[in-house]
A = this chain, B = another copy of it.
Amino acid sequence: MEIVKNVSNCKNCAYRSWAFKKLTSDELKLINEKKVEKFYRKGENIYIEGEPVHSFLYLQNGLVKLFKTEPNHKEHIISIAKPKDFIGLLSIFSNKNHTYSITAIEDSIICFIDLDIIKNFIKTNGNFALDFFEKISNLSDSIIKTRVDINTRQLRGRIAYILLFFAQNIYNAKKFNLPISRKEIADLIDMSTENVIRALSEFRKDGLIQIEGKSIEINDIDRLQKIYVLG
């Protein structure tokens, strides 16, 4: 990790026009002064389970995973945050310590804003408080929806979901490089690594996708969609 020197201006930040829309120019100025931008290389931890909560995190660039390590040492990936996402769960507002870990799965630039500053805005700027709440409350619900979508399906449906997720939600392209390993896909959909590999091979043999290592190209997005919907 290294602190980014040539910092960006909050005024031009995409987040500003979303959940930070109702901040006054003075408040925005304060954030702009106090925020810290950090650069993480792929594989670096941003923080781990149990560490105290200090900051509100915003992903400027890159890709990160939120995960928990289970008592049996298995890893379970809760979600993947993409650029312009708030990183984390809403529990940063209710818990003193992080209940999950975050690691960069691509080189990432993360903006750290002291949580007390945000809390103070909620307290003193009613318009911001309501707007922020309306925007951010969507986050955890979409994670719950994803978990339901995945867990009500079996192997092939789950793999289809993951492929569509990266193609449509993250890269907006039919061809992309998988940012995570097959094992991480397994940790994300609660299946074994071998079966993830097998399902991908099957999709390749069926002509649904092309695979070359981490590179995936989707040939037939409609059929993939059907496999996902039917489960």
CB of A171 within 8 Å of the partner chain: no
Q: Mark A181-212, 1 if CB is under 8 A from B, else 0.
A: 00000000010000000000000000000000
| B140–A141 touching, CB < 8 Å | yes
Q: Which residues of B contact A89 (CB under 8 A)?
A: 140-141, 144
- Size category of the A interface is 35 or more
Q: Which residues of B contact A126 (CB under 8 A)?
A: 122-126, 129
A interface SS class: helix
Given B71, B135, B140, which contacts A229 in the complex, CB threshold below 8 Å?
Answer: B71
In the assembled complex, how far is the CB of residue A134 from the closest CB belonging to chain B, in whole angstroms? 5
**Can you name the residue of chain B whose Cβ is closest to the Cβ of A141?**
B91
Q: How far is A68 from B123 in the complex, measured between Cα atoms in Å?
A: 35
| A135–B94 touching, CB < 8 Å | yes
Q: Which residues of B contact A12 (CB under 8 A)?
A: none
Q: Which of A105-113, A146-154, A214-222 lies at the interface with chain B?
A: A146-154
CB of A133 within 8 Å of the partner chain: yes
Q: Which residues of B contact A18 (CB under 8 A)?
A: none
Q: Which residues of B contact A143 (CB under 8 A)?
A: 140, 144
Q: Which residues of B contact A137 (CB under 8 A)?
A: 90-94, 140
| B231–A144 touching, CB < 8 Å | no
Q: How far is A89 from B140 in the complex, measured between Cα atoms in Å?
A: 9
Q: How far is A230 from B230 in the complex, measured between Cα atoms in Å?
A: 32
Given contacts A122-B126, A122-B133, A144-B147, list 16 more A-B pairs with CB under 8 A.
Answer: A89-B141, A90-B137, A90-B141, A94-B134, A94-B135, A94-B137, A95-B138, A95-B141, A123-B130, A126-B126, A126-B129, A140-B141, A144-B144, A147-B148, A147-B151, A151-B190
In the assembled complex, 19 residue pairs joining A and B whose CB atoms fall closer than 8 Å, in A order, are A89-B144, A90-B140, A91-B137, A91-B141, A93-B133, A93-B134, A94-B134, A94-B135, A94-B137, A94-B141, A95-B141, A99-B145, A123-B126, A129-B129, A129-B130, A129-B133, A137-B140, A144-B147, A151-B151
Interface residues of A (CB under 8 A from B): 68, 70-72, 74, 76, 78, 89-95, 99, 119, 122-127, 129-130, 133-135, 137-138, 140-141, 143-145, 147-148, 151-152, 190, 229-231
